[in-house]
Structure 1
Amino acid sequence: MSTPLRSTYPVPVEDLIPAARTLVDKTGGIPSQNQMMKHFRIGKEKAKAVRLALIEEDAATTATHLHTVPDPADTEPETVAESTGDEMPPAVEEEASPQVTAAVEPGIVAVLPQSEEVPTASPQDAPPVRSWPVLLLALPAFVAVWSGWVGLGTLTGFGVVHPLPGIADGFTINSAITLPIGVETYAAFALRVWLSGQVPASARRFAKWSALSALVLGALGQVAYHLLEAAGVTRAPWQITTVVACLPVAVLGMGAALAHLIHARPSEGN
């Protein structure tokens, strides 16, 4: 056991620190301020200064022994490679996590919880666009197109016929209605097939060009009727009569071809 320092003159703090370290080694901890005063027979202020110096030295020694723990992901492949003697493939870099890290002390990292993301509405969750306004738009167009085709059919020889002679002689029908029903219905059907994106490529191409052709023919038919009507013509020229007479046959052929292409197998459709 070390003997207390005795001197006629006051002992400096620097001279008391080595003796205080010896006392710490023997007691296993830093003595209290009162123990310092009693053991070294010093005053309160000097005992406080010696004890503070010991605490600072102990904190500095502890900081030098602190070290970061190596990441197992960094050391594990090397250990396996040394044991097997084979080279390990390069590790695949993982996508960086959006977690936030904050350094607390050297070698210690605190991981803060990831903030919750606010869900966003997807386009599938949006309400569908209503198509009923198309019916409102189609009503006046139907009246104008119907009257135009029927009037042009009358000027080109279409009229009242008996479709069932000998069976129902009293049943009659105006053949001019076949023009708006055939041409405009096929144009709408082909347009739907073209824009659906659910048919083979060959059917989509055919629907595209035939729909555009039907719409152009329909527009030309309306123009021809209004020009003839405005000019007071009661019988259409033979050129217009020829084209109008071929429309039902052309619509039948395009409709049958489009229906075949829609249901054709991939090998047949290409």
Structure 2
Amino acid sequence: MTTTTTERPKAYPPPVEALLPKARKLTAKLGEVPSRNRLMTELRIGAPKARAVLDALTAPSDQTDNIPAATSPNRPAVVPAEATGDSGQQTREQTEFIAETTAGTAPLSADVVKPESPQVATSVDPGTAEQPKPASKPQKSVKTWPVLLLAAPAFVAIWSGWVGLGALTGFGVVHPLPGILDGFSINTAITLPIGVETYAAYALRAWLTTTAPTTARTFAKVSAIGALILGALGQIAYHLMSAAGITTAPWWITTAVACLPVAVLGMGAALAHLLRTDSSADSSGS
């Protein structure tokens, strides 16, 4: 007597064609193409298979129409024997498994199969979607009034130092309009603080202005640093000579101080020319 043993069908990973009906049903339920993570959870499949199902759902209509007839929920899918590399028994087991998987699934309308808009075809996971950045609060401008408070004592010290140094180097009271206004006089020592310190501030402003031309900013940088160093040296020279009781500056200090009004005039005119010429060239070039 021969006993026939019925083997239990082996479990095979369902192909994409077998998972598409469930995926389409889930799409109709959600009203949009589900994400890869949602497909993995609902269909209990891995990430690669979920990605393949998602690609099939979002494929253009001409590719969707070319899906094999085996994906229809009303009849079992047939897997060719040469694709599996096994015998007909294995093909039958796969066919039974796919038929059980797709049983009871109602066919979906064409509106669900074919994406209606690019937004549905290119849907992304909610977790990976880039969230809009909150608008940054406008920054408050830095108050500049403390500069005036700092400049007041510095002006007194610098003015007195330059005027005192001018007196030691031969600067003094003159009558610029003899025969016209004999009573009008002026102390030429004030030309030193006005000329040197004013140019230092002017060059520093041009250097720190980012919209100024490159050539003018370079010249302003070098001359501003030089003017500030020269101003510091003038203050040092005056206070050292005043503390030592010197009433007349050495010849080399007198020579240097006498050239300052001419030097600051030349540098100021050159910087103004560079700012004006380069700005005009940029305007004509644009």
Deviation at 1:126, TM superposition (A): 1.2
Distance in 2, Cα, partners of 1:177 & 1:188:
17
Counterpart in 2 of 1:121? 136
Q: For each residue in 1:169-223, what CA deviation from the matched residue of structure 2 results, as whole angstroms up to 9, or x when unmatched?
A: 1111100000000000100110011011111100000000000000000000000
TM-score w.r.t. length of structure 2: 0.56
The amino acid across from 2:222 in the alignment is W
Match of 1:71 among 57, 68, 72: 57
Q: Secondary structure at the match of 2:277?
A: coil
Which stretch shows the higher mean deviation, 213-222 or 259-268?
A: 259-268
Bigger CA radius of gyration = 1
Q: Does 1:99 align with 2:84?
A: no
Mapped contact 2:20–2:57 kept (Cα < 8 A):
no
Identity percentage over the alignment?
62
Tell me: CA distance 1:185–1:65, structure 2 relative to 1, closer, same or farther (3 Å).
Answer: closer
Tell me: CA distance 1:152–1:71, structure 2 relative to 1, closer, same or farther (3 Å).
Answer: same
Q: Does 1:182 align with 2:137?
A: no
Tell me: CA distance 1:75–1:267, structure 2 relative to 1, closer, same or farther (3 Å).
Answer: same
Distance in 1, Cα, partners of 2:215 & 2:133:
45
Alignment of 1:1-270 (within 5 A): 66-69=21-24, 70-72=56-58, 74-75=59-60, 97=124, 99-100=126-127, 119-122=134-137, 125-265=138-278
Tell me: CA distance 1:266–1:96, structure 2 relative to 1, closer, same or farther (3 Å).
Answer: farther
Q: Secondary structure at the match of 1:235?
A: coil
What RMSD, in angstroms, separates the aligned Cα atoms of the two structures? 3.0
TM-score w.r.t. length of structure 1: 0.59
Distance in 2, Cα, partners of 1:191 & 1:158:
27
Q: Secondary structure at the match of 1:68?
A: helix
Mapped contact 2:158–2:235 kept (Cα < 8 A):
yes
Distance in 1, Cα, partners of 2:146 & 2:230:
25
Deviation at 1:66, TM superposition (A): 2.9
Tell me: CA distance 1:64–1:256, structure 2 relative to 1, closer, same or farther (3 Å).
Answer: closer
Q: Secondary structure at the match of 2:182?
A: coil
Distance in 1, Cα, partners of 2:159 & 2:140:
35
Tell me: CA distance 1:120–1:151, structure 2 relative to 1, closer, same or farther (3 Å).
Answer: same
Tell me: CA distance 1:265–1:76, structure 2 relative to 1, closer, same or farther (3 Å).
Answer: farther
Distance in 1, Cα, partners of 2:164 & 2:218:
33
Deviation at 1:96, TM superposition (A): 8.2
Distance in 1, Cα, partners of 2:260 & 2:205:
21
Distance in 2, Cα, partners of 1:202 & 1:115:
44
**Which consecutive unaligned segments of at least 5 residues does structure 2 have?**
1-17, 25-55, 65-120
Q: Which has the higher contact order (CA 8 A, sep 6+)?
A: 2
Counterpart in 1 of 2:35? none
Aligned pairs, how many?
178
The amino acid across from 1:248 in the alignment is P
Distance in 2, Cα, partners of 1:64 & 1:78:
17
**Which consecutive unaligned segments of at least 5 residues does structure 1 have?**
1-62, 80-93, 102-113
